[in-house]
């Protein structure tokens, strides 16, 4: 069993921050609201990546609160550390596994996790750990992409990359879409949590022109090395194919207004 999914290296974490923030941005508030985060809270952001959620949480909790961003990937954390923190806020970055959180029982008043749970090798253990470090009454909110059938950009990407780099090399892409709200809710129940609810959210994201965005966004993913190994012509064929596949979402300005769908599952300790 691998210790973690969605592992990237080299320039991918910096690229992730630059080219994925636009896709994640509409869903950040939902996971924060789902955990009921407010001023003064002490919040854990599990699988924080480059800190897209942690930095917004820092603004919400203010100077009287605190945020810990935890991730297993040192490159993601290095990018997180390199970015400005909202004025007056405190964010501690921690390299550790979601399966073995290095915190005392009941340490946090809220726990969030955006697009991380589907990559954990043992979801039950991760849910148990989130429940353990949550204080009595604290809320936990996790988000994960809805099925690939409900996606636009990412379905076109999966089809295009399978053709470009091959089924085997593209296989890790499927991991992002493998979790159902039923499985997540069951893990929370098994962890002893209550008041569990699941909501599917769809948001239309205005993506930049596919040339060059489609290739830049692949550079943020675990499949980036396989894509980089292609010829210039092969990469360009992928980019052109994305433009064609998403032609129905193209705006007169040449951007692509694509709906993305995610689940947000919340629970209370």
Ligand X SMILES: C[S@@+](CC[C@H](N)C(=O)[O-])C[C@H]1O[C@@H](n2cnc3c(N)ncnc32)[C@H](O)[C@@H]1O
Site for ligand X, rule CB under 6 A: 3-7, 24, 47-49, 52-53, 71-73, 76, 97-99, 114-116, 119-120
Distance separating alpha carbons of residues 238 and 251, to the nearest angstrom:
20
Q: Residue 126 or 241: which CB sits closer to ligand X? A: 126
Minimal distance in Å, beta carbon 151 to ligand X? 14
Distance separating alpha carbons of residues 257 and 260, to the nearest angstrom:
10
Q: Residue 119 or 153: which CB sits closer to ligand X? A: 119
Minimal distance in Å, beta carbon 153 to ligand X? 15
Q: Residue 41 or 71: which CB sits closer to ligand X? A: 71
Minimal distance in Å, beta carbon 116 to ligand X? 4
Q: Residue 5 or 106: which CB sits closer to ligand X? A: 5
Distance separating alpha carbons of residues 53 and 37, to the nearest angstrom:
12
Q: Residue 85 or 163: which CB sits closer to ligand X? A: 85
Q: Residue 165 or 221: which CB sits closer to ligand X? A: 221
Peptide bond before residue 212 is cis, with ω within 30 degrees of 0: yes
- By beta carbon distance, the residue nearest ligand X is 49
């Amino acid at each position: 069993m691998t210790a973690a999914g969605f592992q990237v290296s080299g320039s991918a974490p910096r690229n992730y921050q630059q080219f994925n923030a636009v896709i994640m941005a509409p869903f950040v508030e939902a996971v924060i609201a789902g955990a009921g985060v407010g001023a003064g809270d002490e919040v854990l952001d599990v699988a924080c990546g480059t800190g897209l959620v942690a930095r917004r949480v820092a603004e919400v909790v203010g100077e009287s609160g605190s945020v810990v961003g935890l991730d297993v990937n040192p490159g993601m954390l290095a990018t997180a550390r390199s970015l400005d923190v909202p004025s007056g806020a405190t964010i501690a970055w921690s390299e550790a596994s979601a399966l073995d959180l290095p915190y005392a029982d009941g340490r946090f008043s809220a726990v969030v996790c955006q697009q991380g749970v589907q990559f954990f090798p043992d979801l039950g253990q991760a849910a148990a750990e989130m429940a353990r470090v949550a204080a009595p009454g604290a809320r936990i909110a996790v988000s994960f992409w809805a099925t690939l059938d409900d996606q636009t950009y990412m379905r076109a990407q999966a089809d295009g990359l399978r053709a470009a780099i091959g089924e085997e090399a593209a296989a890790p892409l499927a991991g992002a879409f493998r979790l159902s709200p039923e499985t997540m809710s069951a893990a929370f129940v098994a962890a002893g949590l209550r008041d569990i609810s699941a909501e599917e959210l769809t948001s239309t994201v205005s993506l930049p022109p596919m040339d060059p965005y489609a290739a830049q966004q692949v550079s943020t993913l675990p499949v980036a090395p396989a894509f980089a190994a292609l010829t210039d012509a092969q990469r360009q064929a992928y980019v052109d194919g994305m433009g064609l596949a998403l032609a129905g979402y193209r705006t007169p300005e040449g951007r692509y207004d694509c709906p993305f769908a995610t689940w947000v599952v919340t629970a209370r300790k």
